Structure 1
Amino acid sequence: MKKISLLLVFLVVFSSSFAQTKKKQILLIGSFHFANPGLDVAKVNTFNVMTDKSKKELVSITDKIVEFGPNKIFVEWNYKKQDKLDKFYAKNTDSLLNNKADEIVQLALRSAKKLGHKKLFAIDYNQTSFPYDSLLKGMKEANQLDLLKSNEIEMVNYEKSQNEKISKYTLTKLLLDLNSKESIKIDREWYLGIANRVGAVDNFVGAYLVSEWYRRNLYMYSLIQKLTEAKDDKIMVLLGASHAAIIREFVKNDPNFEIVELAAILK
């Protein structure tokens, strides 16, 4: 009897410990802006997600998201305007899906409605700066002409590559490509490989831009952490690909979460 009691105590302690250390799963999706408002530094063509073919893909993709079963879905919407997101979410679903070419609508809202969620969660933090013009000026003033040239070449190559993919790829393939290791690597490398080096010895314009970008994403990740409750085993986060590339670094160093790849749920 004593041995059985000790075994039961061990099992209770072990199961309790396992429950405490089990990581929550994050389906982290980096996306291009479906409506392409032209606000990003890199200018790429618009991919039409409202064609019959793309709509069928959206149904299939979101069906797979439903199979994954996130308890909450987080989106790139100003966190201070959650009330407006709630009102937006409450609008006529068919009207939104048929007329709004936006990744928040076509991926996040479509998935959330299928799952029966009452709302989407806003996590964007906008109170940071991204002084790209100052970055270019800093290169010129510091006579960093090689760095300036490298930046121009990288931007041209990126835009050319993305536009070629947009002309050839399906929506599903585009999203998988954006969330591939190669694309994530390219997204992250620009910040430390080019931007952070900009400026004279006593001018940190490059490091400032990078720190502001990391701060914006770190604050967004803080909101994900705060809004994820103990009962939430799985969540989905839909952000611009450049945001997702940075947030991946935070998730990998957070013992409470683990990333689920988009490729894994679409297989």
Structure 2
Amino acid sequence: MQKIILLLAFLTFNLSSAQAKKKQILLVGTFHYANPGLDVAQLNNFNIMSEKSQKELEIMSDKIKKFGPDKIFVEWEFSKQTELDKFYNKNTDSLFKASKNEITQLALRTAKKLNHKKLYGMNLYTSFPYDSLMMSMEKANQKDLLERNKATTQSFEKIHNEKIAKSSLQEMMLYYNKKQTENENLQWYLEIANRAGNPDDFTGPSLVSNWYKRNLYMYSLIQKLTESKDNKIMVLVGAGHASIIRELITHDPTFELIELSTVLK
């Protein structure tokens, strides 16, 4: 009898979830417009301040405005929301000239056009011990894995740098938001990082779990800060985060994933 009650409750919950109108999330994964060189892969910068790119940013932000997000979430430290609020309220024209990063150039530009009062920071840093990961591979004499890691990094750098040399800003944004590109980004964590070290050395899984943890924390903030009155939101994150967040959205019945390609068409 108890099993039947639990089953009915489960079915009722899922039916009500299915009937409820889903909130739309425009997930935008991106390369860093002002790459500070802190990532493992060393990627060439894009001339985001060129006249061509600035025109593209105007067009992209106009199209996102037409989509109409009620809130825009960005990769800014959650604990520093006050600083983000101050940043958002600075002179917009001077910000566009001084700040090259994607938060300013795309998220803030769009939010201002929508007359939003603020952007929402949802970043939470967790440990990413890459040097320790390499040491674990060396200690375990995993020469093949070290070579595979080197080749994977070099391939990613080569593909990015070749594309960025001949692509427009919108073309690069659409490339980074292809599911295949996101999956290739995620693949490194499972193919290489998680295998690192001797059987009793869990440096690799620790790094991978911290990466997932960071994205889960970020997604938790998206869930908690999205109010009942919000029908659409935009989430702007580095491309490395997008593949995991995409998967979380897919399995969350309250949200519907909106592809960037459908908005920028």
TM-score by length of 1: 0.92
The DSSP-based 3-state class of the residue aligned with 1:95 is helix
Query: Is the contact made by 2:17 and 2:253 (CA closer than 8 Å) also made in structure 1?
Result: no
Q: Distance in 1 between matches of 2:198 and 2:17?
A: 51
The DSSP-based 3-state class of the residue aligned with 2:135 is helix
Which residue matches 1:261? 259
The DSSP-based 3-state class of the residue aligned with 1:74 is strand
Q: Distance in 2 between matches of 1:18 and 1:252?
A: 14
Which residue matches 1:40? 39
Equivalent of residue 138 in structure 1, options 130, 136, 139: 136
Q: Deviations over 1:100-146 (max 9, x none)?
A: 111000100000000000000000002x1000011111111111111
Q: Which amino acid aligns with 2:203?
A: V
Which residue matches 2:4? none
Q: Which amino acid aligns with 1:32?
A: F
After TM superposition, list the pairs within 5 Å mapping 1:36-75 onto structure 2.
36-75=35-74
The DSSP-based 3-state class of the residue aligned with 2:76 is strand
The DSSP-based 3-state class of the residue aligned with 2:73 is strand
Q: Which amino acid aligns with 1:178?
A: Y
Q: Distance in 1 between matches of 2:229 and 2:168?
A: 36
Which residue matches 2:222? 224
Q: Distance in 2 between matches of 1:39 and 1:25?
A: 32
Which residue matches 2:174? 176
Check 1:152–1:57 CA distance in 2 against 1; reply closer, same or farther (3 A cut).
Answer: same
Which residue matches 1:13? none
Equivalent of residue 151 in structure 2, options 150, 153, 167: 153
Check 1:83–1:20 CA distance in 2 against 1; reply closer, same or farther (3 A cut).
Answer: farther
Q: Distance in 2 between matches of 1:131 and 1:215?
A: 14
1:98, CA displacement in angstroms?
A: 2.4
1:21, CA displacement in angstroms?
A: 2.0
After TM superposition, list the pairs within 5 Å mapping 1:1-267 onto structure 2.
17=16, 21-126=20-125, 128-267=126-265
Seq. identity, %: 60
4+ residue stretches of structure 1 with deviation over 4 A? Answer: 16-20
Q: Deviations over 1:203-229 (max 9, x none)?
A: 111000000000111000000000000
Query: Is the contact made by 2:34 and 2:101 (CA closer than 8 Å) also made in structure 1?
Result: yes
Q: Deviations over 1:19-58 (max 9, x none)?
A: 9622111000001111111111111010011000000000
Q: Distance in 1 between matches of 2:195 and 2:22?
A: 36
The DSSP-based 3-state class of the residue aligned with 2:219 is helix
Q: Which amino acid aligns with 1:102?
A: N
Unpaired stretches in structure 1, ≥5 consecutive residues: 1-15
Larger radius of gyration: 1
- RMSD of equivalent CA atoms: 1.3
Q: Distance in 2 between matches of 1:200 and 1:177?
A: 37
Q: Distance in 1 between matches of 2:71 and 2:120?
A: 7
Q: Distance in 2 between matches of 1:214 and 1:262?
A: 23
1:78, CA displacement in angstroms?
A: 0.4
Unpaired stretches in structure 2, ≥5 consecutive residues: 1-14
Q: Which amino acid aligns with 1:115?
A: L
Q: Distance in 2 between matches of 1:30 and 1:266?
A: 14
Q: Distance in 1 between matches of 2:18 and 2:223?
A: 18
1:99, CA displacement in angstroms?
A: 2.4
Q: Distance in 2 between matches of 1:211 and 1:18?
A: 29
Q: Which amino acid aligns with 1:154?
A: T
1:18, CA displacement in angstroms?
A: 7.8
Query: Is the contact made by 2:179 and 2:243 (CA closer than 8 Å) also made in structure 1?
Result: no
